[in-house]
Structure 1
């Protein structure tokens, strides 16, 4: 599958509607982005079961800011709507293949359980509406 350019309007539905989504945050003026682009495209052809998307950070500045992008290129990987990988810097083909293989190999039951535990812990330590802390059990 070839790479797909996505906008801020398409980002959420792309992540929600696909099992595995890689996102390359890039810009036209970025030398390392230009070097990474052909590698990203070539690896995408080997994995038709993965959506390889690209976000132009110049055209999609709000999305880049919401995603916390401070350096480009930045590669993010989502599996079952969960961000499971995020790293700035261009990867070579072997490194990118390793990321794809690792994302495919994840035990998503374990990942979802970890996310649920983290959310429960955050909720338990959040201040109550009146500003007081909920005591630990």
Structure 2
């Protein structure tokens, strides 16, 4: 994981994501997923560009409970949380500007 991107797991998901003070972007991914690897640099950039937002990844192979809880059936799936609730859901590769817009709306 890059410096600003956290690793979320089944064991720390509640504390890191649901109980976070500010907005959180969660990237559900797996190492064997080509599109997931394709967007990884963009996730790193978003983490650097948004110091007020916690950004992290959940490896669904290692942490199936979080993925199951949120009905993740295709990856990459990106969920934006605000106040412990899902505010936005993106499935598949999305433009950085679209993700930034979602983050800006939850930061406001």
1:64 matched residue in structure 2: 67
Contact 1:3 1:54 in 2 (8 A): yes
Q: Which structure has the highest strand share of the two? A: 2
Greater than 6 Å deviation, 4+ residue runs: none
2:102 matched residue in structure 1: 99
Q: Name the SS of the counterpart of 1:17 in structure 2.
A: coil
Q: Using structure 1 for the length normalisation, give the TM-score.
A: 0.72
Unaligned 5+ residue runs, structure 1?
A: 106-137
Contact 1:21 1:51 in 2 (8 A): yes
Q: Measure, in 2, the Cα distance between the counterparts of 1:78 and 1:102.
A: 11
Q: Measure, in 2, the Cα distance between the counterparts of 1:103 and 1:90.
A: 20
1:14 matched residue in structure 2: 16
Change (3 A) 1:21 1:30: same
Work out which of the residue numbers 14, 26, 29 in structure 1 matches 2:29: 26
Larger RCO, structure (CA 8 Å, separation 6 or more): 2
> Pairwise CA RMSD of aligned residues?
1.3
Question: How many residue pairs align between the two structures?
Answer: 105
Q: Using structure 2 for the length normalisation, give the TM-score.
A: 0.90
Contact 1:36 1:92 in 2 (8 A): no
Unaligned 5+ residue runs, structure 2?
A: none
1:43-94 CA-partner distances (Å, limit 9, x unpaired)? 1101111000100011111221122100100000111222111121112221
